Amino acid sequence: MLITFDAINLDQIAYSGQCFRWRKEGDGGYAIPCFGEVLHIRQTAENIVEADCSEEDWHSRWAAYFDADCPDYAQALAAVPESDQYLMQAAQAGRGIRILRQPLWETMASFIISQNNNIPRITKTLERLCEVCGGAEAFPSPECVGQMTEEQLRQLGMGYRARYIQQAARRFTADRADLLLPSMDEAQAQAYLTSYLGVGMKVADCIRLFALGQHRTFPVDTWIKRILKEHYSQGLPEAYAPYGGIYQQYMFFYERQCAKQAIRKRA
């Protein structure tokens, strides 16, 4: 079926560092494993995508995943002030990004692994975890991961994060965190998440943004730190707070895209 958004660009989302298991396909589309199935989806025109699922399936599962019909994006774009040329350009470059609403445990595990790590290696480590425990397509449950030994996890290339993952899996299961977290407010979720070993502010923010849909959240990583120093030495304007997560994604995408182009230029 065809779905029209006010703004969507699959390539931009795939490059935005939210999701580590999208697979690029031969037709230029993507295979997205989630909810125990695999959605095949491709861009057919600007802001239009075609997905190989029923309309019922789209509305019951995938619409929420893609944050469809959320008014925040249009409002966020409209709220960019003329005076901020950097954000204006970043938003223009990445305006097709959606903030995905991804499964909690997968997001938590992915971003624990992401710390002090690079995206290709994060992807590889998660792939191996899925092969060993989840059965290739499905992301392994916290019950399954919690039963693995630290040494087994370490052998997947997690390094010192193996202990974080194992302990997080056990506690996530014991706490029924997938039921608790969605009913928490932002401050509660932040306090709860950062009480996990291996989850600091940045990882907690990514979980809140990419799994709980808390669009005000503004995760600060090494890229964003550079951007803040370079373009916002006085701090981010207060007015940006309601759309912090969306602006953060625009900036992250834009900065990485510029870096990539700079490398290509040298070659």
Partner DNA sequence: CCCCAGGCACAGA
Partner DNA sequence: TCTGTGCATGGG
How many Å apart are CA 254 and CA 262, to the nearest integer? 12
**Comparing C-alpha atoms, which of 169, 168, 212, 19 is closest to residue 97?**
19
Among 43, 102, 107, 114, binds DNA (CB under 7 A): 114
How many Å apart are CA 111 and CA 259, to the nearest integer? 22
Determine if 91 is a binding residue for DNA (CB under 7 A): no
User: Which ranges of the chain would DSSP assign to H, the alpha helix?
Assistant: 10-14, 55-57, 63-65, 72-78, 85-93, 104-114, 119-129, 142-147, 150-153, 161-175, 177-180, 186-194, 201-210, 222-231, 244-266
Q: Which range in 26-34, 46-54, 141-149, 215-223 contacts DNA by CB under 7 A?
A: 215-223
Determine if 100 is a binding residue for DNA (CB under 7 A): no
Q: Which range in 2-10, 47-55, 152-160, 172-180 contacts DNA by CB under 7 A?
A: 152-160
How many Å apart are CA 206 and CA 259, to the nearest integer? 22
User: Residue 121, class by beta-carbon neighbours within 10 Å (0-12 exposed, 13-18 middle, 19+ buried)?
Assistant: middle
Among 159, 175, 216, 232, binds DNA (CB under 7 A): 159
Q: How many CA atoms lie less than 13 Å away from 103 in the CB half-sphere?
A: 18
Q: Are 117 and 147 in contact (CB under 8 A)?
A: no
Q: Are 166 and 142 in contact (CB under 8 A)?
A: no
Q: Least separation, in Å, of the C-beta of 120 and DNA?
A: 6
Closer residue to DNA, CB minimum distance, 95 or 202: 202
Q: Least separation, in Å, of the C-beta of 131 and DNA?
A: 15
Closer residue to DNA, CB minimum distance, 50 or 132: 132
Helix (H) or strand (E) holding 32, with range, is strand 30-34
Determine if 120 is a binding residue for DNA (CB under 7 A): yes
Among 43, 107, 214, 248, binds DNA (CB under 7 A): 248
Among 35, 86, 223, 232, binds DNA (CB under 7 A): 223
Determine if 67 is a binding residue for DNA (CB under 7 A): no
Q: Least separation, in Å, of the C-beta of 252 and DNA?
A: 5
Q: Least separation, in Å, of the C-beta of 18 and DNA?
A: 5
DSSP string of 248-265?
Answer: HHHHHHHHHHHHHHHHHH
**Residue linked to tokens 């991804």:** 102
Determine if 152 is a binding residue for DNA (CB under 7 A): no
Determine if 252 is a binding residue for DNA (CB under 7 A): yes
Determine if 17 is a binding residue for DNA (CB under 7 A): yes
Closer residue to DNA, CB minimum distance, 181 or 199: 199
Q: Which range in 50-58, 100-108, 171-179, 197-205 contacts DNA by CB under 7 A?
A: 197-205
- The site for DNA (CB under 7 A) is made up of 16-18, 114-122, 154, 157, 159-160, 194, 196-204, 206, 219, 221-224, 248-249, 252
